[in-house]
């Protein structure tokens, strides 16, 4: 098999991003001090992730056919790297050296034909196929643990199909391959003065195809922030053939193919090899402001007012006191609201002025003013939060070895039910932490997105774990939080996707008969059931 | 069976709306003069639609089970009225007294249980079930002509399930029954200061459920104008059971059920009995302006500029010279562009100013100014076009008896291909009219909707028909125009839906494998194949 070299910078198999990126010593100290001082959460161990040498892999059970030899490898690092995504249990199992389920082969297809050949091969040998964008799933969507029904596992890394193939500057759209990473596709669009402007927190290590498969939500809080709305057409390669939708700005011809076989399909129906995406001009006018609220619900009402005003800010986001404190951006005494507008076309003053009125009307006070302040996004609590937000994905690799449980979950709910819902979810999570760990832990909340009819609350929880039992502890916490989400009318996921970790609750949330319809689609498109078993179709 | 009374105002079976509404004598004269003087299109006959007495109906083949007796009728008017929608062939066949296919029974269910019982009855007797919102389909979507495979036809009129069941003023959403007509649901929302603000041209005679089933597009040209985006949750009653989606402002949990079994299902998968819809505040700030362009493509470029500026006007619409002339709103020498903004929250001056710059930059001159002009929408070409637009659905009942072919079709295309596409579609339609009728006819175009990545062009064509052969003539014109749409990359429908008239081209446009997936869904949800045969699933 081929000796496959990746980019110059080596990726971590035990955490987020490249080996040379992460928290430095001082940042780690500060993080641990925040937990200890603010919440009484102290390390319960001081361990380390296993080295590559120390990890034992089962023997590779598969041999690539000749036509795929050049794009397949059983290299140890690749098998280890592709065994897990970025979830809390992924981190815990990596720490434990639990790699029995690692993929036998990692394939790096370069063409649709390669993918079709992988399906054929998998069908013949009864191997599972795990589509892999860049492995940023926090819900077990790429974890190659498929049980004993398969004779092998092939992780299909789309990293070589990473080009922007065509740019249409007139319509502002581009044809982009599924394996293009966020930064790579933006770099290819930049010379055209255009941007996809889709910035999920995973931006650096997630792909265009992965965004579509998981119905990704971007950093922006309103309007065109979901990949759903940015997709003009898709090409999905399934074991039964290709599904290529027509490139159209809008269509009312029957149910949308993009919205069924591509968006939300999570690798269970096919692999999205390319798509046409809607682009925007690169913003030149920007304004950001920060407001403090002593009451979290007042802040939520301000978000509602701005969301229902038809202003469509780039951001309208609140971060509760605990979430600020956990991230070193506040002392816990206030909720922060960030509002920002951007435009490639016109000054945004009129928009910003009206949004500020909404914030002040609901009891906000200015933390960072927007007028004549181009650096607002770097100042005060706004800037501190921004720095923490960018750094956040690197925290877990420091916390897992120290026995601190650290996870997030996110949902959406209509405004009428929000306050009760927020209380119920927070209580359920907090009491679960007390029951499971004997400590209070920290449960915090921010809004990731805001709609006229409701917010998307994003919860984080931290607790000191029992080193011998952390995976089971996490599972219990996850179960009780997820049960509460479903019971109180939320969605099990707003933009993190279903994956293996949410499948049980997804099946409760999804209308049963619609589940049957998806099952039929699975049988039609993936008749041998090789694609991402256990995800979307149970 | 029950003696079923409808509302006080009697509906026409031969045309649009109520018997007491339509063009008066002068308006009809003016319409005919416009065609004769402007385009040499003269009446080729002076006939009349058949009276109800003159129409012969086949004997009713079905008998309602006892449990449905109160909600079923074989009343002659109801059977005649429910035999056709509002398409050109529907009008021609009504004129010809072609009612052999009329439904045997018209049912007016009052509950989901009634609908389930209708399915059972239909399954047992092998009768076809035609879901009927308010019969405004212009594409044969409710035409009860299902061929000889069925032992009867039941038209299911949703008119008794017409309530707004719940209003959530906090989230701005309402639970609305599928059979609620546009004006009725707006009247029920008005006391709450809220509006669905979905105004398709068919508004008066179309329903919430019909809008969802056909992916309706509202009058507004940008942003939240499609019912797709206004739907928060749906209840679809299928022969296999109910599909009830969860009420959520947003969700990334797998493929969207609303987007597959409700939106675009066109009565082939189930009947949408209710849904939660997103509402808006009733606009209090409004501004409208009109601009003239000597070049149609300059006007299109101005639409593109406004659409890509991120301003999201309520309207940004162009109407070409011919379309203005056909409707008595221009002399054919200029294209009109209408721009308007609305808000329930804030003055719209800043938005309007920037949009006006875009129009003037592209060579527009002011036809109707917006500043300090609350009656702008009633003035100049803008007002004349508006009057014609409201009256338009009443034209055909004057034209069919006079042997004048009158139809519209609509599509969408990305901006990069628009100019060539427009030329190709116009040429194909015009040369088809010449070949088929020996006259030039009139082919005109406006934009119904505008997206950042492309417009939705809406074409109208008029031609003098051969009284003996009008249906075949229309079919040839429709075929050649539709062939051109598909060949040149457009969609067969942007918001008119598929129905029976577009099925052939829809099947060309739709990815074949996705067609199989829909076929599987049909088998799952409607195993006996009773629902709207020939629509969506061929």
Mean of pLDDT values over B513-519: 98
pLDDT tens-digit profile of B232-262?
Answer: 999 999 999 999 999 999 999 999 999 999 9
B278: closest CA of chain A, how far (Å): 7
Q: Same domain for A192 and A291? A: no
CB contact under 8 A, A252 and B496: yes
Q: Same domain for A268 and A353? A: no
Q: Classify the C-alpha dihedral B60-B61-B62-B63 as positive or negative.
A: positive
pLDDT at site B510: 98
pLDDT at site A2: 56
pLDDT tens-digit profile of A269-292?
Answer: 999 999 999 999 999 999 999 999
**Set of chain A residues whose Cβ sits within 8 Å of the Cβ of B251:** 412, 491, 493-494
CB contact under 8 A, A278 and B453: yes
Q: Which residue has the higher pLDDT, A236 or A6?
A: A236
Mean of pLDDT values over A173-200: 98
Say if residue B3's pLDDT is above 90: no
Mean of pLDDT values over B152-165: 98
Mutate to test the interface with B, among A253, A498, A523 (most CBs of B within 10 A): A253
Say if residue B323's pLDDT is above 90: yes
Opening angle at CA B63, ends B62 and B67, nearest 5: 135
Query: For all residues of chain B together, what is the average pLDDT?
Result: 97
CB contact under 8 A, B510 and A256: no
pLDDT at site B4: 54
pTM, two decimals, is 0.97
Mean of pLDDT values over A336-357: 97
**Set of chain A residues whose Cβ sits within 8 Å of the Cβ of B309:** 343, 345-346
CATH (domain of A319): 3.30.70.3450
pLDDT at site B374: 96
**Set of chain B residues whose Cβ sits within 8 Å of the Cβ of A257:** 510-511, 514
Q: Which of B360, B393, B426 delimits the end of a domain?
A: B393
Give the Cα separation of B138 and B145 in Å (integer).
Answer: 15
Say if residue B7's pLDDT is above 80: no
Does residue A444 sit within a domain? no
Indicate the residue of B172, B412, B518 with minimum beta-carbon distance to A249: B412
pLDDT at site A7: 58
Q: How many CA atoms lie within 13 A of A92 on its CB side?
A: 21
Does residue B485 sit within a domain? yes
- CA-based nearest residue in chain B for residue A450: B249
Say if residue A226's pLDDT is above 70: yes
Confidence of residue A368 (pLDDT cuts 50, 70, 90): very high
B67: closest CA of chain A, how far (Å): 26
Say if residue B6's pLDDT is above 60: no
pLDDT at site A6: 54
Greatest extent of chain B over all pairs of C-alpha atoms, in Å = 68
Centroid of chain to Cα B290: 25
Report ipTM (2 d.p.).
Answer: 0.97
Pairing of strands B285-293, B404-410: unpaired
Does residue A35 sit within a domain? no
Q: Same domain for A168 and A276? A: yes
Does residue A325 sit within a domain? yes
B524: closest CA of chain A, how far (Å): 7
Indicate the residue of A243, A253, A261 with minimum beta-carbon distance to B498: A253
**Set of chain B residues whose Cβ sits within 8 Å of the Cβ of A251:** 412, 491, 493-494
Closest CA to B331 of B321, B341, B339, B340: B321
> Quick check: helix, strand or coil at residue A64?
coil
Q: Same domain for A314 and A228? A: no
Tokens 């100042």 label which residue?
A379
Q: Which of B393, B415, B431 delimits the end of a domain?
A: B393
Mean of pLDDT values over A343-360: 97
Residues spanned by the domain of A353: 285-393
pLDDT at site A141: 98
Indicate the residue of B251, B254, B509 with minimum beta-carbon distance to A536: B254
**Set of chain A residues whose Cβ sits within 8 Å of the Cβ of B510:** 253-254, 257
Give the Cα separation of B413 and A170 in Å (integer).
Answer: 12
Tell me how far CA of residue B131 lies from CA of A408, B18, B153, in angstroms: 45, 21, 11
Pairing of strands A153-157, A128-132: parallel
pLDDT at site A4: 54
* DSSP-assigned letter for residue B519: H
- CA-based nearest residue in chain A for residue B419: A170
- In chain B, pLDDT over 70 holds for what percent of residues? 99
**Set of chain A residues whose Cβ sits within 8 Å of the Cβ of B260:** 255-256, 259-260, 514, 517
Give the Cα separation of B108 and B100 in Å (integer).
Answer: 22
Give the Cα separation of B321 and B31 in Å (integer).
Answer: 16
Mutate to test the interface with A, among B255, B260, B526 (most CBs of A within 10 A): B255
Tokens 């041209």 label which residue?
B201
Mutate to test the interface with A, among B253, B270, B276 (most CBs of A within 10 A): B253
Q: Same domain for A171 and A262? A: yes
Mean of pLDDT values over A100-107: 98
- CA-based nearest residue in chain B for residue A304: B171
Confidence of residue B8 (pLDDT cuts 50, 70, 90): confident
Beta bridge partners of A442: A462
Mean of pLDDT values over B133-139: 98
pLDDT tens-digit profile of B365-410?
Answer: 999 999 999 999 999 999 999 999 999 999 999 999 999 999 999 9
pLDDT tens-digit profile of A388-422?
Answer: 999 999 999 999 999 999 999 999 999 999 999 99
CB contact under 8 A, B517 and A513: no
Q: Are B278 and B230 in contact (CB under 8 A)?
A: yes
In this structure, the number of other CB atoms found within 10 A of the CB of residue B147 comes to 9
B341: closest CA of chain A, how far (Å): 11
Alpha helical stretches, state H, B190-339: 208-214, 227-230, 296-308, 321-326
**Set of chain B residues whose Cβ sits within 8 Å of the Cβ of A232:** 414, 453
Indicate the residue of B217, B243, B264 with minimum beta-carbon distance to A514: B243
- In chain A, pLDDT over 90 holds for what percent of residues? 98
Say if residue B106's pLDDT is above 70: yes
pLDDT at site A538: 82
Q: Classify the C-alpha dihedral B518-B520-B522-B524 as positive or negative.
A: negative
Mean of pLDDT values over A288-316: 97
CB contact under 8 A, B255 and A518: yes
Q: Same domain for A275 and A200? A: yes
Does residue A214 sit within a domain? yes
Say if residue A175's pLDDT is above 70: yes
Mutate to test the interface with B, among A119, A248, A252, A494 (most CBs of B within 10 A): A252
**Set of chain B residues whose Cβ sits within 8 Å of the Cβ of A265:** 254-255
Indicate the residue of A240, A247, A350 with minimum beta-carbon distance to B350: A350
Confidence of residue A268 (pLDDT cuts 50, 70, 90): very high
Q: Same domain for B272 and B364? A: no
Q: Which of B109, B125, B160 delimits the end of a domain?
A: B160
Q: Same domain for B359 and B409? A: no
B534: closest CA of chain A, how far (Å): 13
Greatest extent of chain A over all pairs of C-alpha atoms, in Å = 68
Closest CA to A268 of A13, A503, A508: A503
Number of domains in chain B: 4
A270: closest CA of chain B, how far (Å): 12
Q: Which residues contact A179 (CB under 8 A, 6 or more apart)?
A: A133, A157, A158, A159, A160, A161, A162, A207, A208, A209
pLDDT tens-digit profile of B434-478?
Answer: 999 999 999 999 999 999 999 999 999 999 999 999 999 999 999
Tell me how far CA of residue B74 lies from CA of B59, B81, B90, B106, B126, in angstroms: 10, 11, 21, 6, 18
Q: Classify the C-alpha dihedral A182-A187-A188-A190 as positive or negative.
A: positive
Indicate the residue of B248, B266, B414 with minimum beta-carbon distance to A249: B414
Does residue B532 sit within a domain? no
Give the Cα separation of B203 and A157 in Å (integer).
Answer: 50
- CA-based nearest residue in chain B for residue A305: B345
Give the Cα separation of B70 and B66 in Å (integer).
Answer: 8
Q: Are B105 and B69 in contact (CB under 8 A)?
A: no
- CA-based nearest residue in chain A for residue B505: A253
CB contact under 8 A, A451 and B249: yes
Does residue A432 sit within a domain? no
B176: closest CA of chain A, how far (Å): 16
Query: For all residues of chain A together, what is the average pLDDT?
Result: 97
Tell me how far CA of residue B428 lies from CA of A514, B465, B481, in angstroms: 42, 18, 6
Tell me how far CA of residue A483 lies from CA of A143, A257, A415, A475, A476, in angstroms: 23, 32, 20, 12, 10
Give the Cα separation of B248 and A102 in Å (integer).
Answer: 37
> Quick check: helix, strand or coil at residue B144?
coil
**Set of chain B residues whose Cβ sits within 8 Å of the Cβ of A216:** 252
CB contact under 8 A, A252 and B451: no
**Set of chain A residues whose Cβ sits within 8 Å of the Cβ of B522:** none
Q: Classify the C-alpha dihedral A22-A28-A31-A32 as positive or negative.
A: positive
* DSSP-assigned letter for residue A262: I
Mutate to test the interface with A, among B169, B232, B254 (most CBs of A within 10 A): B254
Closest CA to B251 of A333, A514, A356: A514
- CA-based nearest residue in chain A for residue B502: A253
pLDDT at site B1: 53
Indicate the residue of B308, B496, B506 with minimum beta-carbon distance to A254: B506
B44: closest CA of chain A, how far (Å): 35
pLDDT at site B336: 98
- CA-based nearest residue in chain B for residue A251: B494
**Set of chain A residues whose Cβ sits within 8 Å of the Cβ of B491:** 246, 248, 250-253
pLDDT at site A205: 97
Q: Same domain for B123 and B148? A: yes
Q: Same domain for B322 and B239? A: no
Opening angle at CA B494, ends B492 and B498, nearest 5: 55
**Set of chain A residues whose Cβ sits within 8 Å of the Cβ of B256:** 259-260, 263-264
Q: Same domain for A290 and A325? A: yes
pLDDT tens-digit profile of A116-126?
Answer: 999 999 999 99
Q: Same domain for A320 and A295? A: yes
Tokens of B343: 């808000």
CATH (domain of A239): 3.30.465.10
Give the Cα separation of B12 and B20 in Å (integer).
Answer: 9
Give the Cα separation of B101 and B89 in Å (integer).
Answer: 14
pLDDT tens-digit profile of B54-81?
Answer: 999 999 999 999 999 999 999 999 999 9
* DSSP-assigned letter for residue A537: -
Confidence of residue A8 (pLDDT cuts 50, 70, 90): confident
Does residue B436 sit within a domain? yes
Pairs across A and B, CB distance < 8 A: 297
């Amino acid at each position: 098999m081929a000796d496959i070299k990746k980019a110059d910078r080596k990726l971590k198999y035990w955490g987020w991003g490249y080996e040379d990126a992460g928290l430095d010593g001082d940042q780690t100290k500060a993080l641990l001090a925040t937990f200890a001082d603010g919440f009484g959460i102290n390390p319960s161990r001081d361990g380390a992730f296993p080295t590559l040498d120390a990890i034992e892999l089962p023997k590779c059970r598969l041999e690539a056919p000749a036509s795929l030899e050049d794009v397949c490898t059983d290299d140890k690092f690749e098998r280890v790297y592709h065994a897990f995504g970025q979830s809390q249990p992924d981190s815990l199992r990596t720490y434990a050296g639990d790699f029995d389920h690692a993929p036998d082969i990692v394939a790096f297809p370069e063409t649709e034909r390669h993918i079709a050949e992988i399906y054929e091969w998998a069908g013949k040998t009864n191997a599972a196929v795990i589509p892999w964008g860049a492995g940023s799933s926090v819900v077990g969507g790429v974890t190659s643990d498929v049980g004993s029904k398969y004779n092998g596992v092939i992780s299909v890394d789309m990293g070589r199909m990473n080009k922007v193939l065509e740019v249409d500057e007139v319509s502002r759209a581009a044809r982009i391959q599924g394996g293009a990473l966020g930064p790579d596709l933006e770099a290819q669009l930049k010379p055209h003065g255009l941007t996809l402007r889709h910035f999920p927190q995973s931006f650096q290590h997630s792909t265009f195809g992965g965004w579509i498969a998981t119905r990704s939500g971007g950093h922006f809080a309103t309007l065109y922030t979901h990949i759903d709305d940015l997709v003009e057409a898709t090409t999905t390669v399934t074991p039964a053939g290709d599904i290529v939708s027509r490139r159209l700005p809008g269509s009312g011809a029957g149910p949308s193919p993009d919205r069924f076989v591509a968006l939300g399909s999570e690798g269970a129906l096919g692999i999205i090899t390319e798509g046409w995406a809607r682009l925007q001009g690169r913003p030149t006018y920007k304004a950001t402001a920060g407001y403090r609220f002593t009451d979290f619900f007042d802040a939520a009402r301000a978000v509602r007012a701005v969301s229902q005003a038809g202003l469509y800010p780039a951001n309208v986001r609140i971060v509760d006191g605990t979430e600020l404190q956990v991230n070193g951006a506040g002392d816990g005494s206030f909720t922060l609201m960030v509002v920002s507008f951007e435009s490639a076309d016109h000054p945004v003053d009129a928009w910003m002025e009206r949004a500020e009125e909404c914030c002040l009307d609901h009891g906000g006070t200015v933390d960072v003013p927007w007028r004549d302040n181009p650096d607002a996004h770097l100042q005060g609590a706004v800037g501190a939060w921004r720095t923490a937000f960018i750094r956040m994905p690197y925290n877990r690799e420091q916390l897992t070895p120290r026995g601190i449980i650290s996870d997030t979950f996110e949902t959406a709910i209509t405004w009428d039910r929000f306050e009760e819902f927020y209380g119920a979810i927070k209580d359920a999570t907090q009491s679960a932490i007390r029951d499971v760990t004997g400590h209070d832990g920290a449960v915090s909340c921010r809004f990731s997105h805001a709609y006229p009819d409701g917010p998307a609350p994003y919860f984080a929880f931290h607790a000191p774990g029992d080193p011998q039992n952390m995976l089971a502890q996490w599972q219990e916490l996850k179960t009780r939080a997820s049960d509460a989400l479903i019971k109180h009318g939320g969605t099990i996921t707003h933009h993190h996707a279903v994956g293996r970790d949410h499948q049980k609750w997804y099946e409760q949330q999804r209308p049963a008969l619609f589940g049957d319809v998806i099952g039929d689609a699975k049988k039609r498109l993936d008749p041998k059931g090789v694609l991402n078993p256990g995800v979307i179709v149970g």
